[in-house]
Amino acid sequence: MRFPESQRRVLLQTARESIRHGIETGRPLTVDPQSYEAALAEPGASFVTLHEHGQLRGCIGSLEAHRPLITDVAENAFAAAFRDPRFPPLAKQELDQIEIDVSVLSPPEEMSFDSEQDLLAQIRPGEDGLILQDGYHRGTFLPAVWESLPERRQFLQQLKLKAGLPPDHWSNQVRVWRYTTESFGEKDSVST
């Protein structure tokens, strides 16, 4: 899953335009997938993360591909700016302050394990994003979260908390999927 710099730039520009469009109209940017390269028009799952002065300012995404990638990025950028319940909607004066990162997800792969220890042994720090589910409790961490939670056990405990479970929770109904991401941001792109 390698996107050349030109496609990365298109995805990042689409994310920013969708946020700008949202400030002006209250709606995400409508894109025509057929007017983009095939890799961007094919179904894809993405997360769009916003940072302001180095601090998280919004993050919304899709775990499974259910619409064209370019559409997914436009919709998730709008949602990260205006619908992340952890933050107030982005204000017009903030638009030039935010940095945008896009993560394109590989299809989730269900993991097989017979205990929490077995699961911990299989997790690949720095590489795996995880989706954890037990009943109606569900949460995910992108691979980028390893930067702030580098230890496997701590990563898993915090993911359980995000899913609404106690950090020491374990049951035979726990299901976990792993995925990888190709992530890139505006600060990574070289302006010419």
- In tens digits, the chain (192 residues) has pLDDT values of 589 999 999 999 999 999 999 999 999 999 999 999 999 999 999 999 999 999 999 999 999 999 999 999 999 999 999 999 999 999 999 999 999 999 999 999 999 999 999 999 999 999 999 999 999 999 999 999 999 999 999 999 999 999 999 999 999 999 999 999 999 999 875 433
Distance in angstroms (rounded) separating the CA atoms of residues 57 and 144:
15
Q: Per DSSP, what are the bridge partners of residue 140?
A: 131
- Confirm whether 149 is domain-assigned: yes
Domain CATH code at residue 126: 3.30.1490.150
Same domain for 128 and 37, yes or no, is no
Same domain for 32 and 116, yes or no, is no
Same domain for 94 and 117, yes or no, is no
Q: Which amino acid is at 45?
A: A
* Residue 79 tokens, joined: 């949602």
Say how many domains are in the chain: 2
- Confirm whether 119 is domain-assigned: yes
Domain boundary among 53, 76, 105: 105
Give pTM, 2 decimals. 0.89
